[in-house]
Amino acid sequence: MGDLRIGVIGLGFGEYHVRTITNLPGARLAAVADTVGDRVDRIASTYGAAGFHDATAMIDSGCVDALSICVSPAYREPILRRAAAAGLPLFIEKPWAANLEQGLRFRDLVAGIPVMTGFSFRFLPAFRRLAGLVAGELGSVRLANGEYAFRFLPPNDNWLWDPSNGNGLFNENSCHLFDAVCALAGTPVAVSAAGRPYAGSPSEDGAALVVEFESGAAAALTIGGIAAPAFRSFPRLDVITERGQARLSGRSHIWESLAWATDTDTEIHQAEYPAEELGTTRYTAALSHFMESVRTGTAPETGPAEGLCSVALAEAVYLAIRGRCRVVIGRYDA
């Protein structure tokens, strides 16, 4: 089988995908598309890819085998419809959707084609190692304590705050931590939370919350965009498990080191994982997983269900804050 020809749609953060794909063995950046002509022309010529000013024209051209969709949720629907009709495997940036209603519509639109929700955190090597330990010698998670807070306050008119697009920091950004915690602890069933637009943002920009899981596990999380810029040690996640304890430490959006010990260990084990270096980015592992799933015909580990789970969690956090109550997360995927 030859290189997988990937097309990237949306060239804001999508340019980062472009750089990742360009350095990914087995992948070829075949085409890029954006409605902003300058972006297309610059990136297409820099990376030697076909350029399209219309995403549907790219899909219809037949020059790609798979798509990386990097437009924000409000612009996805027509692209998903066309891509699904063409049967193309899709890597779709987080968040899966602005809200559950839209998320369910997206899920139904792409039913039957391979789809990966672009959560990068859970594919990073340090996280994979922790997930393996939780499945093995450490045993299942009982308590978790995590933080994904850094200085990130887009202007008040940015799409991120629009309830019908990014739907605020917690849906757009904290979803990375939500997904990581759910990957370890399972299905969330209830949330209690407090937070505010501390920095005058259009919606809450910082919060502390407790998530309860079906398994009986509980996680205390701090999230938001109001941290001091000098602190780069995010994200962080501590877990206490059936038979031990572990700490994942990050730097600038990448899990970088893992420390763990079982209840019978006398020393803490430590493993370090290189951060982004020449030719690899924080998306290399996630996109490699996507390519592997396309090649083998297996479902990606993060599909629409995992995307919906983080959207449901974000919605529950907003409800818990605004209603000052504990919110039970019911069946949201029917």
Ligand X SMILES: NC(=O)c1ccc[n+]([C@@H]2O[C@H](COP(=O)([O-])OP(=O)(O)OC[C@H]3O[C@@H](n4cnc5c(N)ncnc54)[C@H](O)[C@@H]3O)[C@@H](O)[C@H]2O)c1
Provide the binding-site residues for ligand X, judged by CB under 6 A: 9-14, 33-36, 39, 55, 70-72, 75, 79, 93-95, 120, 159, 172
Name the β-bridge partners of 151. 226
Q: Which residue has tokens 């940036």?
A: 93
Q: Which is nearer to ligand X, 40 or 138 (CB)?
A: 40
Concatenating the DSSP letter of every residue in 126-167 gives HHHHHHHHHHTTS-SEEEEEEEEE-B----TTSGGG-TTTT-
Q: Which is nearer to ligand X, 37 or 216 (CB)?
A: 37
- What is the Cα–Cα distance from 58 to 47, expressed in whole angstroms? 16
Q: Which residue has tokens 């931590």?
A: 177
| 63, two tokens | 């020059």
The minimum distance between CB 89 and ligand X, in angstroms, equals 18
Residue nearest to ligand X (CB): 12
Q: Which is nearer to ligand X, 33 or 314 (CB)?
A: 33
The minimum distance between CB 82 and ligand X, in angstroms, equals 10
Q: Which is nearer to ligand X, 60 or 263 (CB)?
A: 60
The minimum distance between CB 243 and ligand X, in angstroms, equals 33
The minimum distance between CB 14 and ligand X, in angstroms, equals 6
- What is the Cα–Cα distance from 207 to 194, expressed in whole angstroms? 6
Q: Which residue has tokens 């109550």?
A: 325
Q: Which is nearer to ligand X, 49 or 71 (CB)?
A: 71
Residues in the chain: 334
Whether residue 236 contacts residue 176, with contact meaning beta carbons closer than 8 Å, is answered with no
Q: Which residue has tokens 């997904």?
A: 179
The minimum distance between CB 35 and ligand X, in angstroms, equals 5
> Residue 174's Cα: distance from chain center in Å?
9
The minimum distance between CB 134 and ligand X, in angstroms, equals 23
- What is the Cα–Cα distance from 148 to 303, expressed in whole angstroms? 22
Which letter does DSSP use for residue 272 in this model?
A: E
Q: Which is nearer to ligand X, 172 or 212 (CB)?
A: 172
- What is the Cα–Cα distance from 259 to 272, expressed in whole angstroms? 9
| 324, two tokens | 């000052």
Q: Which is nearer to ligand X, 56 or 140 (CB)?
A: 56
- What is the Cα–Cα distance from 228 to 126, expressed in whole angstroms? 25
The minimum distance between CB 9 and ligand X, in angstroms, equals 5
Q: Which is nearer to ligand X, 34 or 212 (CB)?
A: 34
- Residue 304, classed as helix, strand or coil, is helix
The minimum distance between CB 313 and ligand X, in angstroms, equals 16
- What is the Cα–Cα distance from 245 to 155, expressed in whole angstroms? 39
